[in-house]
């Protein structure tokens, strides 16, 4: 039987303790004295929109399903999400949020109205997964809640009633919640007011949206601790939208942050984004090049914030939609189901490294999306489930949650193809609460291995895991779920030098030991 990974074909020990060349191709320096800031766990947030097979079949199957479930939530998917320590979930959209009326999702299942999801292909929306189902799921997972309020077809009264229903201890809304089976109030940690208001959220001018935001935010009240209020901001190419919204005279007193949406399209063309599998190397390197733009996009947002002196010091950037977006394999485009490969894993790790390097301003990031949609953690097919390479990256990066991001300087060779050249290696480092340093390295080169000198950390060895694959589009299927999975990785220093070897198409997360 052919090994699924040529880097493992010599045996695990061969990979973990490989003989390294004397001179490294790349060099990593670190400032251990002035950390960037705390890496918020919410940087590893998830996004659950009513879209495709995500809520229905992906998460919710109903209590009467033959698929093992607890109160209608799939047990296998829940266990996989629990293992990720999901910090926060954004719901119910996305574009769908501006069509969602929360009362449709209350009460007995057989009495909930059937609606059409006109944002995503007019698909049936049974409202089986509603307020109680979402908040119970988040509570069981230990995840914070990020609620996207309906600005497009809703009202300030509807939004205020929803928040009262969720958090009140007395009054008519609290009594209604109790009648629907929930005694204790829930916690709403974050609220977004509108979504992509420059597009599917109403094609509003920034001035018109800013006025509406101020009205909604004024009445977005909860009992107890107030949620952080998030403005619907720009995408990667219309920063002036956010700039204008933040110029509103009352915004600074009514918001704790603003959103940013950045997707990675391999071709950069929304009409022909590129394939999920079977793509040429040109689409590998172009995906890497386009995802690395995230760093400059965030820098531009930070520079724009500086123009608004009235913003609070802890005002944050919320990258609440990001990830790979490719062409659908079938004509069912509105379902946005796509296969997930080692390329997706590399793209995810590159973005996480960028977010961590901006830990002082990026307070949350929500990958699009959690199950069965776009760059998903998990794919399902009836009773079957498979974890994607992206899932494994999120699992590997768990040690960074709550750690202090360290400033690193990287001297790296380029990875080039034709006229396109990108840095071959990406790195991020952090000091955990136990004092140990964790290091993430990505080799985005589709062809060649590289070595990196990490001696600046003063460590004698590195131990952790590696994710890599034989081909550019290697992926996990329901019949072969372990084609791409993490394996142990270790490196030992010699004479004060610690050099790590990075196979092509690889993500490595290690803890450094003195």
Helix (H) or strand (E) holding 385: strand 384-387
Q: How far is CA 415 from CA 42, 84, 288, 454, in A?
A: 31, 31, 10, 20
240 is catalytic: no
513 is catalytic: no
Are 37 and 359 in contact by the 8 Å Cβ rule? The answer is yes
Tokens of 248: 């509103």
Place of tokens 């301003």: 361
CA dist., res. 243 & res. 337, Å (int): 34
CA dist., res. 84 & res. 30, Å (int): 28
For residue 99, count CB atoms less than 10 angstroms from its CB and return exposed for 0-12, middle for 13-18, buried for 19 or more.
Answer: buried
Helices (H), 271-388: 281-291, 293-306, 342-357
Q: What is the DSSP letter of 497?
A: B
Nearest to 214 by CA among 254, 245, 244: 254
CA dist., res. 189 & res. 139, Å (int): 12
SS3 508: strand
Those residues with Cβ within 8 angstroms of residue 350's Cβ, 6 or more apart along the chain or in another chain: 288, 291, 292, 294, 426, 442, 444
Q: Catalytic residue, from 164, 196, 256, 395: name it.
A: 196
Indicate which residues carry an active-site annotation.
196, 321
């Amino acid at each position: 039987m052919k090994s699924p990974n040529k880097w493992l074909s010599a045996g695990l020990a061969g990979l973990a303790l490989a003989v390294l060349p004397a001179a490294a191709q790349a060099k990593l320096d670190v400032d251990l004295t002035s950390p960037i800031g705390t890496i918020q766990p919410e940087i590893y947030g998830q996004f659950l929109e009513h879209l495709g097979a995500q809520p229905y079949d992906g998460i919710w199957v109903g209590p009467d399903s033959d698929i093992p479930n607890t109160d209608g939530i799939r047990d296998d998917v829940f266990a996989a999400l629990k293992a990720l320590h999901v910090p926060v979930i954004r719901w119910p959209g996305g574009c769908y949020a501006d069509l969602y009326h929360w009362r449709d999702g209350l009460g007995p299942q057989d009495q909930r109205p059937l609606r059409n999801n006109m944002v995503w292909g007019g698909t049936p929306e049974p409202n089986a997964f509603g307020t109680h189902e979402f908040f119970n799921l988040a509570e069981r997972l230990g995840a914070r809640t990020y609620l996207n309020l309906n600005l497009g077809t809703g009202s300030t009264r509807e939004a205020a009633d929803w928040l009262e229903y969720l958090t009140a201890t007395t009054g008519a809304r609290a009594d209604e919640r109790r009648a629907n089976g929930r005694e204790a109030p829930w916690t709403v940690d974050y609220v977004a007011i509108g979504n992509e208001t420059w597009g599917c959220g109403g094609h509003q001018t920034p001035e018109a949206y800013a006025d509406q935001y101020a009205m909604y935010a004024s009445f977005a009240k909860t009992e107890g601790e107030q949620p952080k209020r998030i403005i619907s901001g720009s995408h990667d190419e219309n920063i002036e939208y956010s700039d204008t919204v933040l110029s509103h005279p009352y915004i600074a007193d009514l918001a704790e942050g603003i959103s940013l949406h950045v997707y990675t399209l391999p071709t950069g063309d929304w009409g022909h984004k590129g394939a999920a599998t079977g793509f040429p190397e040109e689409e590998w390197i172009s995906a890497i090049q386009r995802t690395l733009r995230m760093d400059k996009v965030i820098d531009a947002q930070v520079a724009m914030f500086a123009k608004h002196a009235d913003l609070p010091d802890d005002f944050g950037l919320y990258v609440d939609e990001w990830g790979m977006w490719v062409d659908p394999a079938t004509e069912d485009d509105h379902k946005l189901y796509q296969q997930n490969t080692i390329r997706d894993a590399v793209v995810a790790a590159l973005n996480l490294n960028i977010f961590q390097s901006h830990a002082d301003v990026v307070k949350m990031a929500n990958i699009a999306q959690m199950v069965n949609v776009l760059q998903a953690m998990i794919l399902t097919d009836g009773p079957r489930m498979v974890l994607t390479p992206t899932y494994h990256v999120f699992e590997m990066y768990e040690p960074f949650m709550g750690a202090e991001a360290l400033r690193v300087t990287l001297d790296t060779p380029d990875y080039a193809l034709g006229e396109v050249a990108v840095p071959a290696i990406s790195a991020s480092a952090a000091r955990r609460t136990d004092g140990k340093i964790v290091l993430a390295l990505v080799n985005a080169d589709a062809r060649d291995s590289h070595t990196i000198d990490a001696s600046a950390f003063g460590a004698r060895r590195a131990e952790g895991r590696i994710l890599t694959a034989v081909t550019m589009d290697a992926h996990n299927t329901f019949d072969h779920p372990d084609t791409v999975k993490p394996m142990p990785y270790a490196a030992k220093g010699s004479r004060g030098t610690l050099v790590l070897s990075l196979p092509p198409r690889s993500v490595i997360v290690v803890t450094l030991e003195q």
